[in-house]
Structure 1
Amino acid sequence: MALWLVIGGAHYATVTEPFGAVDWFGPPVLVPLAAVPLALRRRFPLAVLWTVLVTAPLIGHDSPDIAYYTGMICLVAAYSATSYGPYRLPTVLSLPVAAVVLVFLFTDAKLPSFPNGTVALLVLIPVLAVAHEMHMWRRRVDEGRARLSALQREQVEALNRAVEQERARIARELHDVVTHNVSVMVIQAGAARKIMDIAPDQAREALLAVENGGRAAMAELRQVMGLLMMDGDGSGTVATEDLAPQPGLDRLGALIAGVREAGMPVELTVTGQRRPVPPGVELAAYRVVQEALTNTVKHAGGATAAVTVEYAVDQLRVEIADTGGLPTASAGSGNGRGLIGLRERLAVHGGTLHTGRRPRGGYLVRALIPLEAA
């Protein structure tokens, strides 16, 4: 458009005045120069508009022919300022000034005349331009709808994944909380049943251990359910005593004592310099020991176990080894989710889980969790 106006202005500068009579410093020669600022109309739209509004009346007020072209230059500058101008208020305030200048220029302007055959083309061109813009508009609308539909599908998929992950987390928590205590309770109840007639005192102790295990299971279940029932802002209707901190390494002694009461000898060894670790890491380490001892109780009756917790420089090592034994009556009640849940829990903290049989018999579970260097 700018090039077209420059060429048109140059045409009028030479046609309206004979070549030898042209005033090289007069308005006809300045018409092409008036259109030059339009080359920067997208980069500096408001500055170009005001430059054109000042120069156009000075150049085109003496000639009706030149007034037409200077008016067209103003129109292009006003359109560019409206379309590309970053400063909306100054642009809006400039448009009335542009309107006054256009009225001044077009009042006496001599509009170009075209042959009748050319008029049809001049009408066809804007029609085709409008049709093209409508086509592009519909295309953009369709693309926008497609992007919106894709975004909605992605949101639904993300929501479904979040629901699945939350279900897996809840299942993992419930498994870790219930399985250990219930397995110990089953073994103790079975032992109490067998010795009830011949050793009633020992049977009562076993039943007391079952009662304590049931209370421990209910306490941990209340903690899990309390976390699930809390609102997004941390508030809820759960009692404060039900929201005790999740178990950590400081409660390994109580955990191992409960396993000992079920009749399995367990030794606990802690090496390295004790230091604070994140609560999530402590809970993960606790669950590893809990799950490993639960599996030992269920699948290795008569075995002994050893639990080792090592505070290394850059990692926490938790190892549970047993000597092997015979499966108990509750061995077939598992579903294999325990070790899978442990791997998922450790992966959150960048940890790994290694399990397998020992060369001299028994089973080994080793968890390695990275820690910041002390």
Structure 2
Amino acid sequence: MGEYDVMTTALAVACTAVLGLTAALVRTRRRWRTAIGERGWLLERERESATEAAVAAERDRIARELHDIVSHNVSLMVVQASAAREVLGTMPDEAATALRAVEDAGRGAMTDLRHLLGLLAPAQDGTDTGPAPDADRASTPLAPQPGLDRLGPLVDRISFAGLPVEVRVSGDPRPLPQGIDVTAYRIIQEALTNALRHGDGGKAEVSVRYADHALRVEIVDTGPSVFTGSGPAAPRPAADGTGRGLLGLRERVAVYGGDLDARRRLGGGFRVRARIPLDRP
């Protein structure tokens, strides 16, 4: 084989190698583009799923807040209106006091709802756009979520409505994370509201314990024994605490790694007990 043939063969081999590398490069680039496209699609799907989950969580939160606001205030209004009706002809002063309590509960519900709606659809300048119940409340700024610092007014409202409440606080009270603070308040509010709605002139006890690593809350109310079957016609929550309000509270507590137990007491009444960890990362 001559020198010319050797050079021709080498050139052919080089051209073949270049063509092979070019083809491999094209295939690699095509696969890279396909992978990038698939990754972008997956990222878009993940963003959509995250958005849907956030929307669902926000709807659940709003539903729980609306339940807490409406259930508590409407229950107070019904109890006070019933009391006013019973004494309207014989004790007009007491009836007027009960009707003022109905008015206050209604105004409180309107204010809470206005604040909640204001958070859902605030004005461009960040102010509350919801309708104010009166001129004095029109300039009221958005109030923070209630916490255990509002326990006193809550107990006063429940007691005034006809359910005596005793509060016991143990441990070393200290500032709590906002979510836990709101959750503890809502647990007590729901339990006392149920006791007021379904009670028969008994009383309730609220215990708040600040432990080293957890917050413990317990609400116990008196009522008819499960053995007698006596008591008011209005049904109490299910024995295992499966009412809508209690289910919402159980979900609230679960968010912070805690647990909630709600059940009838054999000796009568109902008990709600919750434990919320304070040192969860």
Which of the five TM-score ranges fits, normalised by the shorter chain?
Answer: 0.7 to 0.9
Name the structure 1 match of 2:156.
257
Name the structure 1 match of 2:258.
351
Residue 308 of structure 1: CA displacement? Answer: 1.4
- Secondary structure of residue in 2 paired with 1:251: helix
* Counterpart Cα distance in 2 of 1:275 and 1:115: 89
Name the structure 1 match of 2:15.
123
Amino acid at match of 2:44: Q
Amino acid at match of 1:150: L
Contact 1:195 1:203 in 2 (8 A): yes
Cα pair distance change 1:119/1:313, threshold 3 Å: closer
- TM-score, normalised on structure 1? 0.61
- Secondary structure of residue in 2 paired with 1:128: helix
Name the structure 1 match of 2:219.
320
Cα pair distance change 1:330/1:254, threshold 3 Å: farther
Amino acid at match of 1:237: T
Name the structure 2 match of 1:60.
none
1:241-282 deviations in whole A, cap 9, x for unaligned?
232332222221211121122222222222233333333332
Counterparts of residues 204-243 of structure 1 (less than 5 Å): 204-230=96-122, 236-238=126-128, 241-243=140-142
- Identity across matched positions, percent: 49
1:108-167 deviations in whole A, cap 9, x for unaligned?
xxx986355565444333222212221221111111111111111111111100110111
Contact 1:298 1:327 in 2 (8 A): no
Residue 231 of structure 1: CA displacement? Answer: 7.7
1:291-327 deviations in whole A, cap 9, x for unaligned?
1011112233333211112233333221100112545
Cα pair distance change 1:242/1:341, threshold 3 Å: farther
* Counterpart Cα distance in 2 of 1:346 and 1:133: 56
Q: Does 1:191 align with 2:191?
A: no
Cα pair distance change 1:125/1:276, threshold 3 Å: closer
Provide structure 1 residue ranges, at least 5 long, that are not aligned to the other structure: 1-110
Cα pair distance change 1:114/1:261, threshold 3 Å: same
Counterparts of residues 100-111 of structure 1 (less than 5 Å): none
Equivalent position to 2:47, from 155, 175, 180: 155
Counterparts of residues 259-274 of structure 1 (less than 5 Å): 259-274=158-173
- Secondary structure of residue in 2 paired with 1:168: helix
Q: Does 1:336 align with 2:243?
A: yes
The alignment yields a C-alpha RMSD, in angstroms, of: 2.8
Contact 2:206 2:218 in 1 (8 A): yes
Amino acid at match of 2:144: P
* Counterpart Cα distance in 2 of 1:370 and 1:303: 31
- Secondary structure of residue in 2 paired with 1:317: strand
Counterparts of residues 29-48 of structure 1 (less than 5 Å): none
Deviates most, 142-151 or 124-133: 124-133
Name the structure 2 match of 1:180.
72
Provide structure 2 residue ranges, at least 5 long, that are not aligned to the other structure: 129-137, 225-230
- TM-score, normalised on structure 2? 0.80
Equivalent position to 2:182, from 276, 280, 283: 283
Whose RCO is larger (CA < 8 A, sep 6+)?
2
Name the structure 2 match of 1:368.
275
Cα pair distance change 1:123/1:272, threshold 3 Å: closer
Contact 1:298 1:330 in 2 (8 A): no
Residue 287 of structure 1: CA displacement? Answer: 0.8
Contact 2:84 2:94 in 1 (8 A): yes
- Please identify the structure whose Cα radius of gyration is greater: 1
Contact 1:226 1:242 in 2 (8 A): no
Residue 288 of structure 1: CA displacement? Answer: 0.8
Counterparts of residues 11-90 of structure 1 (less than 5 Å): none
* Counterpart Cα distance in 1 of 2:222 and 2:5: 107
Contact 2:162 2:196 in 1 (8 A): no
Amino acid at match of 1:153: R
1:40-84 deviations in whole A, cap 9, x for unaligned?
xxxxxxxxxxxxxxxxxxxxxxxxxxxxxxxxxxxxxxxxxxxxx
Contact 1:249 1:283 in 2 (8 A): yes
* Counterpart Cα distance in 2 of 1:312 and 1:120: 84
* Counterpart Cα distance in 1 of 2:4 and 2:86: 116
Cα pair distance change 1:157/1:177, threshold 3 Å: same
Amino acid at match of 1:236: G
Contact 1:229 1:236 in 2 (8 A): no
Number of residue equivalences: 258
